[in-house]
Structure 1
Amino acid sequence: MDLPVSTARLPSTLWGTLIISGTIIGAGMFSLPVVMSGAWFLWSSALLIITWFCMLLSGLLFLEASLHYPAGSSFDTITRDLLGRGWNLINGLSVAFVLGILTYAYISASGAIIQHTLSQLSLPVSARSAGFAFTLLVALFIWLGTAMVSRMTLIFLGAKVITFLIIFGGLLWHIEPVKLLDSHGEESHYLRYLWMVIPFCLASFGYHGNIAGLVSYYQKNGSRVCRCLVFGTLLALVIYFIWIIGTMGNIPRHEFKAIAAQGGNIDVLVAALSGVLHSPYLNLLLDIFSNFAVACSFLGVSLGFFDYLADLFKFDRSAFGRLKTTVVTFILPLTAAMIWPNGFLVAIGYAGLAATLWAVITPAMLARKARQRFTNAAWQVRGGTAPIVLVLIFGAVNALVSILSYWNILPVYAG
Structure 2
Amino acid sequence: MNPSSTPEQKQPSIVGGIMIVAGTVIGAGMLALPIISAGMWSLWTVLVLATTFFIMLASANMILRANLRFDPGASFHTLVKNTLGPVWNIVNGLSVGFVLYMLLYAYTSGGGATVWHSLGLDIPQSMVSLLFGGTLAVCIFWSTQVVDRLSTIFVIGMIITFFAAITGLLPALEVEKILTLSTVPDAQPTAWFVLAALPYFLTSFCFHASVPSLVKYYGKDEAKIRKCIFYGLLIAGVCYTIWIFAGFGVLGRESLRDVYAQGGNINHFLAAVESIVSTPWISYCISIFAFLAVVTSFLGAGLGLFDYIADLLGFDNSLGDRLKTAAITFVPPILGSTMFPDGFIIAIGFAGFAAAIWSVIIPAAIEWKHHRQTGTSGGYGARIFSTTHFVKVVLFYGVITSIFHLLSPDVLDVLPVYR
Q: What's the TM-score once normalised by structure 2's chain length? A: 0.85
1:201 and 2:213 correspond = no
Q: Which runs of 5+ in 2 are unaligned?
A: none
2: CA distance between counterparts of 1:204 and 1:129? 27
1:51 and 2:52 correspond = yes
Could you tell me how far 1:374 is from its partner in structure 2? 8.7
Could you tell me how far 1:89 is from its partner in structure 2? 1.7
1:385 and 2:387 correspond = yes
2: CA distance between counterparts of 1:147 and 1:252? 42
1:38 and 2:43 correspond = no
Paired residue for 1:394, among 397, 402, 405?
A: 397
Q: Which amino acid in 2 is paired with 1:135?
A: G
Aligned pair count? Answer: 406
The corresponding residue for 1:338 is: 338
Could you tell me how far 1:260 is from its partner in structure 2? 1.0
Q: Which runs of 5+ in 1 are unaligned?
A: none
Shift of the 6–131 alpha-carbon distance from structure 1 to 2, 3 Å rule, reads: farther
Shift of the 319–201 alpha-carbon distance from structure 1 to 2, 3 Å rule, reads: same
Q: Which amino acid in 1 is paired with 2:418?
A: Y
Could you tell me how far 1:299 is from its partner in structure 2? 2.4
Could you tell me how far 1:38 is from its partner in structure 2? 0.8
Cα distance per residue 1:331-387 (max 9 Å; x no partner): 332232233222111111112222111110001122344566799xx9755433255
Cα distance per residue 1:202-253 (max 9 Å; x no partner): 1111212333444444456544443332222111101111101111011121
The corresponding residue for 1:236 is: 236
The answer to whether the 8 Å contact 2:277/2:283 transfers is yes
The answer to whether the 8 Å contact 1:262/1:268 transfers is yes
How is 1:304-315 mapped onto 2 (pairs within 5 angstroms)?
304-314=304-314
Q: Percent identity?
A: 37
The corresponding residue for 2:152 is: 154
Could you tell me how far 1:106 is from its partner in structure 2? 0.7
For the residue of structure 2 that corresponds to 1:412, the secondary structure is coil
Cα distance per residue 1:175-197 (max 9 Å; x no partner): 21211111256524211212111
Could you tell me how far 1:147 is from its partner in structure 2? 6.6
1:408 and 2:413 correspond = yes
Shift of the 364–312 alpha-carbon distance from structure 1 to 2, 3 Å rule, reads: farther
197-206 or 128-137: which moved more? 128-137
Q: Which amino acid in 2 is paired with 1:359?
A: S
Could you tell me how far 1:43 is from its partner in structure 2? 0.8
Shift of the 150–339 alpha-carbon distance from structure 1 to 2, 3 Å rule, reads: same
How is 1:11-410 mapped onto 2 (pairs within 5 angstroms)?
12-69=13-70, 71-119=72-120, 124-139=122-137, 142=140, 149=147, 151-184=149-182, 187=185, 188=187, 189-218=189-218, 221-314=221-314, 325-370=325-370, 381-383=381-383, 384-386=386-388, 387-405=390-408, 406-410=411-415
Cα distance per residue 1:86-110 (max 9 Å; x no partner): 2222222122111111111111111
Over aligned residues, Cα RMSD in angstroms? 3.1
For the residue of structure 2 that corresponds to 1:194, the secondary structure is helix
2: CA distance between counterparts of 1:233 and 1:401? 24
Q: Which amino acid in 2 is paired with 1:168?
A: I
For the residue of structure 2 that corresponds to 1:250, the secondary structure is helix
